[in-house]
Amino acid sequence: MNPPAPLTALLRRRLLSWYARSARPLPWRRDADPFRVWVAETMLQQTTMAAVQPRYEDFLRRFPDVRALARARESEVLRAWAGLGYYARARNLRSAARLIAARPDGDFPRDRDGWLDLPGVGRYIAAAVASIAFGRPYAVLDGNVTRVICRLLAIRADARRPATQRRLETLAQDLLDPRHPGDWNQAVMELGEVVCTPQNPKCGACPLGGLCAAKEMGLQERLPLLGPRIAPRDLNLTCLWIERGSRILLWKRGPDELLLKGHWGLPEAERMRARIGPRVQTLRHSITRYRISVSLRKAELIGPRPPQTRWVARSRLKDFLVSSLWLKLLRD
């Protein structure tokens, strides 16, 4: 159930005034420049704030704006990303920078859907950048926001279930202050990070203490409820190594593929007419909830090259959006 309107208004006032007084002076909060916000939010995905802070300033010194990042070679971007892990984020950041720089106006998308069209940008980053940099009314939902909302409204459903996530998305959107969406999003995340922490929440110091259902019921240590994680799914692929001189046949994955839509990679056997030869190697790789095993086999193309494929020299791989899954094979 949604909180009544007067309660929502009070929550907004209290949390925003707490944030104005207490926000930590993090480097990406100095201004709401879209490039800075986007880089920070991308780095903060799956990496701690402590690890991100020093790398963030270095990265921006090296690539001060989107055009500098678009011009950079992939190897330079990956070097500047060293220490942050999950290098697909760096590759996607550069690919997206190139797309932005190539737009007729050369400018950033201003709305969430425009950001969602860019590689590596999911719902969280799109909502964060659109709200913080452009004042668009989109709520973010990450682990911190999930925890705060579940406690505030005493939600006793498994927060990992898709149905609960959808409900939380709606609640986060309803609670969002549409006049200050960027500050609101950052304030909820800040509260979850420093006050409404997973263990030992500091309810005595919480600006929402008097309004919190979990605190009133003594449930703050027990919420959110987190059921078992969804077991990873095993996926077995047979991919083909088809050479012509020094070039390799790459295949662009279509929009209906299960994963890595729009990425270039080695063709899957079932998508090609080919004479399949011996196995070259087997590779294991994980992407989101898939545990992938790739059996790589030498092959020869039968007939003409299919339209969604391209002969590519290894030195030109950097010009294509190629997942780390295949880069592991292609760079060996």
Output 82 or 205, the one with its CB closest to ligand SF4.
Answer: 205
Is 41 considered catalytic here?
yes
Dihedral sign of CA atoms 211, 226, 132, 171 in order: negative
**Which pair of tokens denotes residue 156?**
């006793």
Residue 220 is a binding residue for ligand SF4 (CB under 6 A): yes
Residue 145 is a binding residue for ligand SF4 (CB under 6 A): no
Among the listed residues 119, 143, 209, 306, the single contact to ligand SF4 using CB under 6 A: 209
In degrees and rounded to multiples of 5, residue 312 shows phi and psi of -130, 130
Please choose, out of 165-173, 198-206, 250-258, 297-305, the segment that lies near ligand SF4 by the rule CB under 6 A: 198-206
Residue 12 is a binding residue for ligand SF4 (CB under 6 A): no
| CA–CA dist 120, 318 (Å, integer) | 16
Residue found under tokens 């050479």? 243
Output 15 or 80, the one with its CB closest to ligand SF4.
Answer: 15
The answer to whether residues 2 and 174 touch, using CB atoms and an 8 Å cutoff, is yes
Least Å from the CB of residue 196 to ligand SF4: 3
Least Å from the CB of residue 192 to ligand SF4: 8
Residue 214 is a binding residue for ligand SF4 (CB under 6 A): yes
Residue 175 is a binding residue for ligand SF4 (CB under 6 A): no
| CA–CA dist 297, 276 (Å, integer) | 7
Output 37 or 208, the one with its CB closest to ligand SF4.
Answer: 208
Preceding omega of 224 cis (within 30 degrees of 0): yes
Among the listed residues 39, 148, 171, 249, the single contact to ligand SF4 using CB under 6 A: 148
Residue 215 is a binding residue for ligand SF4 (CB under 6 A): yes
Three-state SS across 76-93?
Answer: HHHHHHCCCCCCHHHHHH
Least Å from the CB of residue 59 to ligand SF4: 33
Closest listed residue to residue 202, CA positions, set 210, 213, 194:
194
**Which pair of tokens denotes residue 2?**
């949604």
- Of 41, 216, 243, 268, which is the active-site residue? 41
For residue 90, give Cα distances in angstroms to 32, 59, 86, 96, 197: 21, 11, 8, 10, 29
Residue 208 is a binding residue for ligand SF4 (CB under 6 A): yes
Catalytic residue annotation: 41
Residues in contact with ligand SF4 by the rule CB under 6 A? 148, 151-152, 195-196, 201-203, 206, 208-209, 212, 214-215, 220
